[in-house]
Amino acid sequence: MRKAYTNCNIFTGAGRLTGKAILVNNNIIEDISDEKNIDRSLQQEDLEGLNIAPAFIDLQIYGGNGKLFSAELNVEALQATYKYCLGGGCTQFMITIATNTIDVFLKGIEAVKAYWSQGGKGLLGLHLEGPYLNPEKRGAHIYEYIKTPAMEEVKMLLNKGRGVIKMITVAPEMCSEEIITYLMEQDIIVSVGHSNATYHEAMQKISLGIPAATHLFNAMSAFQSRQPGMVGAVYNSNVKSSIVADGIHVDFVALSISKRLMGDRLFFITDAVTEASVGGYQHVFKGDRYTLPNGTLSGSALTMMQAVKNAVAFADIPREEALRMASTYPAQLLNEKKQFGRIEKNYAADFVVFDDALNIKRVIC
C-alpha cells in the first residue's frame, strides 16, 4: 500500500527537510517529494508539524518488560523485548546473551528462529557477549563460563547459528588471529570488549579488520599516560564503538570527550536488562540501573530515546548528531538487505515521530 507522510520536519540522517512528504510503498521509502506535488489520490497521514527521523537501532539489549531472554529463551521474551524497544523509538534490535553455557546459546538460537517463523518483528539477530572474554574484565559475567575459544567449538556455534548469530563480543587478547579472521569471514560483526589487552595487543588484532568495540570504557583496560589500553586503541583506530549514555556506566563528560575524538564512530546501545530472579543472571532494579544481588552493575534501565535526550542535555551533543548515534551509525555496522538508519529512497520505512522536547509521539514501522 502506498502512503504519504506530510506536514512534518524530516531529519533524514544527513540533514533536515521541511515542506516535503515521505512516500512509502510496501514498507519501503519510495521517494521524498515536495508536498505540493504529491499525488492527491495517495493516502495521506498528517503528522501535525512534528519531527520525524529514522527509527532507532539497539545492537545490545538483553530483555525487556520483565522478560530476560537468557532466563526465558522463548518467543515471549523476544516479544516483550520488542515492545520495550518500541517504547523508546527503537524498531530494530540485536538480542544479546551474556557469557553462558553452550546449551543456553543453542536454545537462544532456536528461540530466535521460532520468533522469526512466527512473524516476529524487529529482531536483527543474536549478539553473543562472550564467552570468549578476559576474566579479569568480566564485570557482571559469570566467571565459570568464560573460556578461551577453540576453533571446533566456534565452528559448531556458527553452524548451529547460521543466519542467527550476527555479532560476537570477544576479548582480542584471548583469541588467536585465526579465530578472529574466521569469525569475520563468516560475516560476524566482531566487537572487542571485556578486555584487559594492552594498547599494542589491541591494535594488533584490530588491524585484522575488527570493526567494533563494546560499551566504551566499561570492562576494558583504561586509557592511561603510560598504558593507553583498549580505550586508547579504540580512540586511535577506525573502530566504531558503542557507549551506554546513562551517566552511570559512563560519566557524561567522558561521553562528551569521546564524541569529540571519535565523531561518527561512536554510537548508542541501551545495554538494557530487566528484573530477573532466576538463572545465572539475577538483575535487581535500583531505580536508575540494574545490579546483581551483590551490587555489581549489571545493566542499564535506558531506552534509546533516553540515551538521545541524555546526550543532548548533559554531553553537549547536538540533537541531530545524537539522533544519528541512535540510528545512522549503528546501521552502518549492519550487513542487511533492508537499509536502516536513513530516510532515503529504498530505505526501510521505520520512523520515530517526536516533539521538540524529544518526547516520542509515534513509532512507525
Catalytic residue numbers read 271
As to burial, measured by CB atoms within 10 angstroms (0-12 exposed, 13-18 middle, 19+ buried), residue 122 is buried
How many other C-beta atoms can be found within 10 angstroms of the C-beta atom of residue 113? 15
Q: Would you call the peptide bond into 228 cis, given omega within 30 degrees of 0 as the criterion?
A: no
CA pair distance 259, 276, nearest whole angstrom: 33
Instruction: Copy the grid coordinates of residue 283.
Output: 538483575
Cα 81 from Cα 62, distance rounded (Å): 8
Spatial separation of the C-alpha atoms in residues 279 and 329, rounded to whole Å: 34
Single out the residue of 311, 301, 327, 360 nearest to residue 13, CA to CA.
327
d(CA 365, CA 353): 11
Task: Give, for 179, the enclosing helix (H) or strand (E).
Answer: helix 177-185
- Are 167 and 184 a contacting pair, CB within 8 Å? no
Write the secondary structure of 10-51 as one string of H (helix), E (strand) and C (coil).
EECCCCEECCEEEEEECCEEEEEEEHHHCCCCCEEEECCCCE
Q: Are 171 and 221 in contact (CB under 8 A)?
A: no
**3-state secondary structure (DSSP) of residue 153:** helix
Q: Compute the distance between CA of residue 255 and CA of residue 281 in angstroms, rounded to an integer.
A: 27
